[in-house]
Amino acid sequence: MTNEWLPLPGTPVEELDTPAIVIDLDVAEENIRRMQAFANENGISVRPHTKTNKSPYWAWKQLNAGAIGICCAKVAEAEEMAAAGVPEILIPNQVVTPRKISRLMSVAATTKTIVAVDSEANVANLSRAAVGAGVELGILIEVNVGMDRCGVEAEDAPALAKAIVSAPGLRFDGLMGYEGHTVAARDFEERKTEALRAMGKLLGAADSVRKAGIPVNIVSAAGSGTYNITGKLDGITEIQPGSYIFMDGDYLEVFNDFDAAMTLMATVISRTGNRAILDCGLKSISIDRGLPYVVGLEGAEVSKPSEEHLKLILSGEATKLKVGDKVHLRAMHGDTTINMHDQYFCVRNGKLETVARIAGRGKFR
Ligand SMILES: Cc1ncc(COP(=O)(O)O)c(C=O)c1O
């Protein structure tokens, strides 16, 4: 039972209750189409990272456009996607505790599942669990390509590949490396230089695994900012972009290959002097990559929000704002803002088309 009232299709956007994540469907669908067109032209696959959209609604739009599967950061996200019938899931992340490994096996029992590893101990535990559950689990070796997060060093990949190949219940699929330290470099040439350096490590590791006599089917990499650098390299078989689907304020400073599809719509609840107070705050819009900004209205300067309030300092056109007016904000970081909401309000030509559930919000276990 829920006491939540949801608006009907056709409701004008300004009548939606706030704070609300509003998605311009035409723009988001065009972003999906553009990424897939790039991949088709360059003979690679797209496996979008759904840590951004966290929703089967969008995953299915990406799959229907031609994606070969999706990525999920966490087992709990994968559980939501598997329940929605998504046919293939890569967790480009390490799953190490017994409880999570057991849940991963349940996902693998219903859905083709691949997971990243960077240690022999993890390989042994996954193998034991896969045999026990009677499933075959795909494995990618994660290579540290310079981000210094997870991943083995490139020279250690062949030894780990041998351990995987001889582990029952596991299928060695290939390698992955995420050049996350390069994806948001503002200058394209700098992004390219750093991404190519990173991908040299991944492709070198893939070659040394092949030289050890082990076939490599998948070499997976890239975020939105490097899709057209990494995605053009011989040897890379697929890209894992996530943010391109909605393009947050931070990514809009990196490039304009994709357009902004998402705003956080809020309502003016108080208006005094040069001040307007909105009904959104830290519980509905993130500030980890900087303060949001107002879209489509000149002269409204955003101050640091508190939990449920956000203050605008007004000048010029913005002084016309009155109580009850709607204001659209662009979050600098989409993923962390989306994670705070239950629904997308998906709009076309200013009218609500559908409300899509953010099934993966808060699914960080
Ligand atoms: C492993 C991995 N792949 C792909 C991505 C997608 O990156 P982006 O949001 O830049 O498209 C991320 C983002 O954190 C990631 O961690």
Q: Grade residue 5 by pLDDT with cuts at 50, 70 and 90.
A: confident
Minimum CA distance residue for ligand 1 atom 5: 223
Yes or no: say if 299 and 319 are a contact pair by the CB < 8 Å rule. Answer: yes
pLDDT digits 0-9 by tens, 9-60? 999 999 999 999 999 999 999 999 999 999 999 999 999 999 999 999 999 9
Q: With 90 as the cut, is the pLDDT of residue 4 above it?
A: no
Question: Using CA atoms, how far apart are residues 278 and 103, in angstroms rounded to an integer?
Answer: 41
Question: Using CA atoms, how far apart are residues 138 and 146, in angstroms rounded to an integer?
Answer: 24
The rounded percent of the chain whose pLDDT value lies above 90 is: 98
225 Cα to the center of ligand 1, angstroms: 9
pLDDT digits 0-9 by tens, 225-246? 999 999 999 999 999 999 999 9
What is the full DSSP assignment across 291-334? Answer: --EEES-TTEEEPPP-SS-EEEEE-GGGGG--TT-EEEEE-S-H
The residue-averaged pLDDT of 292-308 equals 97
Minimum CA distance residue for ligand 1 atom 2: 178
12: three-class secondary structure by DSSP: strand
CATH 2.40.37.20 for domain 13-21+257-357, yes or no, is: yes
pLDDT digits 0-9 by tens, 307-343? 999 999 999 999 999 999 999 999 999 999 999 999 9
Q: Grade residue 1 by pLDDT with cuts at 50, 70 and 90.
A: very low
Residue ranges, CATH 3.20.20.10, the chain: 27-246
| pTM recorded for the entire structure | 0.97
Please tell me the predicted confidence (pLDDT) of residue 312.
98
- Whether the CB of 241 sits within 6 Å of ligand 1: yes
CATH number for 27-246: choose from 3.40.30.10, 3.20.20.10, 3.40.50.2300, 3.40.50.1970.
3.20.20.10
Ligand 1 atom closest to the CA of 242, numbered from 1: 11
Please tell me the predicted confidence (pLDDT) of residue 91.
98
Question: Using CA atoms, how far apart are residues 42 and 234, in angstroms rounded to an integer?
Answer: 10
Question: Using CA atoms, how far apart are residues 39 and 238, in angstroms rounded to an integer?
Answer: 8
350 Cα to the center of ligand 1, angstroms: 30
Name 28's bridge partners: none
Residue ranges, CATH 2.40.37.20, the chain: 13-21+257-357
- Whether the CB of 183 sits within 6 Å of ligand 1: yes
Number of Cβ atoms within 10 Å of the Cβ of 101? 21
The residue-averaged pLDDT of 186-205 equals 98
Minimum CA distance residue for ligand 1 atom 8: 223
The rounded percent of the chain whose pLDDT value lies above 70 is: 99
Question: Using CA atoms, how far apart are residues 201 and 148, in angstroms rounded to an integer?
Answer: 13
Please tell me the predicted confidence (pLDDT) of residue 2.
56
Going by their DSSP bridges, the two strands 238-239 and 262-272 should be labelled as unpaired
Q: Grade residue 3 by pLDDT with cuts at 50, 70 and 90.
A: low
The residue-averaged pLDDT of 161-172 equals 98
Question: Using CA atoms, how far apart are residues 5 and 61, in angstroms rounded to an integer?
Answer: 26
